[in-house]
């Protein structure tokens, strides 16, 4: 059985909330969509130069410290703005180098990306405690590479929706049951495409169908948060935003509305590292 547990919340709080910021910049277009034209690079530039400061300002307004998952490529391309994220007191999470899909890579190729990302973050003065896979996918080697490099938590998998758990290696069979390996010591703080701004809001002709209703997104996020409040105890709500997406005017007002609503219902706004540190494993 999966080993999971609750978050030990501060008194009076109902749900741990992480407003994750995946600061992909141009690399999301390079790594996920194979695009590197000046036009797609400009979309990443918007995210870094215009939208990231807007997101920082909103988080400051509510005194929220959160987790920014930053590829090494963003750190190296936009050193001033990534430095400013650190200076604002946010946690920095390893997020690959150029937003690679690591699934088809060899162990050596994947390890090389791990060390390149670590080096860029070290130039910022950061040693990350957590990792988020850029494509929200794993290779068979990812878990052991994360353990080798001493990560305390990962936030890329979907084996639970509202509670952290211990991820396990899985041996896949098509002619009999899959076989799970032992629990990792690493904690998985799960994500969900349903709690991500990018899929429904970013449009790229023939590649991404993101011209969908903003109120629909708000309603879904609120419904998931309400369920965690009303039906679960010590749950965590892990939102994934991207500056180039959430930082647009019509989106950032929705995020602000959601922050106010969650705050009114007892959200504990926390970094992923704080969620890790307050995890209480079920006996």
CB of 15 to Zn ion, least distance (A): 24
Q: Which is nearer to Zn ion, 4 or 201 (CB)?
A: 201
**Among 47-55, 103-111, 128-136, 166-174, which window interacts with Zn ion (CB under 5 A)?**
128-136
User: Quick one: 8 or 103, whose CB is closer to Zn ion?
Assistant: 103
Only one of the segments 19-27, 72-80, 165-173, 223-231 lies at the binding site for Zn ion (rule: CB under 5 A); that segment is 19-27
Q: Two tokens at 28?
A: 């999301």
The smaller minimum CB distance to Zn ion, of residues 4 and 24, is found at 24
What track of x and - describes contact with Zn ion for positions 129 through 148 (by CB under 5 A)?
-----x--------------
Q: Where are the alpha helices (DSSP H) in the chain?
A: 27-33, 38-46, 52-61, 72-77, 79-87, 107-123, 142-148, 198-201, 214-231, 243-246, 249-264, 272-277
Interface segment toward Zn ion; rule CB under 5 A; list 24-32, 145-153, 248-256, 262-270: 24-32
Q: How many CB atoms lie within 10 A of CB 147?
A: 13
Closest separation in Å from C-beta 241 to Zn ion:
10
Nearer to Zn ion, 117 or 164 (CB): 117
Q: Does 24 bind Zn ion (CB under 5 A)?
A: yes
Among the candidate windows 21-29, 77-85, 149-157, 159-167, which touches Zn ion by CB under 5 A? 21-29
**8-state DSSP, 208:** B
Least CB distance to Zn ion at residue 23 (A) = 8
196 is a contact residue toward Zn ion (CB under 5 A): no
Q: How many residues bind Zn ion (CB under 5 A)?
A: 3
Minimum CB separation of residue 90 from Zn ion in Å reads 16
Binding test (CB under 5 A) with Zn ion, winner from 14, 15, 22, 245:
22
In the chain, what is the greatest distance between 2 CA atoms, to the nearest angstrom?
A: 55
236: enclosing H helix or E strand: strand 235-241
Query: Is residue 146 classed as helix, strand or coil in its secondary structure?
Result: helix
Distance CA 26, CA 250 (A): 21
- The backbone torsions φ and ψ at residue 116, rounded to the nearest 5 degrees and listed phi first, read -65, -45
Instruction: Provide the minimum distance between the beta carbon of 156 and Zn ion in the complex, in angstroms, as a whole number.
Output: 10
CB of 100 to Zn ion, least distance (A): 10
> Is residue 54 within 8 Å of 247, Cβ to Cβ?
yes
CA–CA separation, 114 vs 184, rounded Å? 19
Q: How far is the CB of 98 from Zn ion (least distance, A)?
A: 11
Coil, strand, or helix at residue 177? coil
State the CB neighbour count (10 A cutoff) for residue 277.
15
Q: Which residues bind Zn ion (CB under 5 A)?
A: 22, 24, 134
């Amino acid at each position: 059985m999966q080993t999971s547990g609750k978050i030990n919340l501060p008194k009076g709080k109902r749900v741990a909330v992480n407003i994750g910021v995946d600061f992909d910049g141009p690399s999301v277009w390079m790594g996920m969509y194979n695009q590197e034209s000046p036009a797609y690079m400009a979309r990443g530039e918007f995210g870094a130069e215009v939208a990231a400061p807007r997101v920082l300002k909103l988080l400051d307004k509510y005194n929220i410290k959160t987790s920014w998952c930053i590829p090494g490529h963003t750190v190296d391309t936009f050193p001033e703005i990534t430095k400013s994220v650190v200076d604002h007191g946010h946690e920095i999470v390893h997020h690959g180098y150029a937003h690679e899909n690591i699934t088809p890579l060899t162990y050596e190729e994947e390890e090389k990306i791990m060390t390149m990302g670590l080096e860029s973050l070290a130039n910022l003065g950061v040693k990350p405690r957590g990792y988020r896979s850029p494509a929200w996918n794993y290779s068979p080697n990812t878990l052991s590479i994360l353990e080798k490099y001493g990560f305390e938590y990962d936030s890329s998998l979907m084996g639970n929706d509202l509670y952290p758990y211990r991820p396990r290696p899985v041996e896949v069979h098509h002619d009999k049951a899959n076989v799970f390996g032992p629990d990792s010591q690493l904690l998985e703080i799960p994500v969900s495409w349903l709690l991500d701004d990018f899929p429904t809001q970013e449009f790229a002709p023939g590649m991404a169908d993101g011209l969908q209703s903003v109120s629909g997104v708000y309603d879904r996020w609120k419904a998931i948060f309400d369920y965690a409040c009303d039906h679960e105890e010590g749950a965590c709500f892990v939102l994934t935003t991207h500056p180039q997406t959430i930082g647009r005017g019509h989106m950032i007002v929705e995020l602000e509305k959601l922050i106010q609503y969650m705050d009114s219902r007892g959200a504990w706004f926390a970094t992923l590292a704080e969620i890790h540190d307050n995890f209480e494993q079920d006996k």
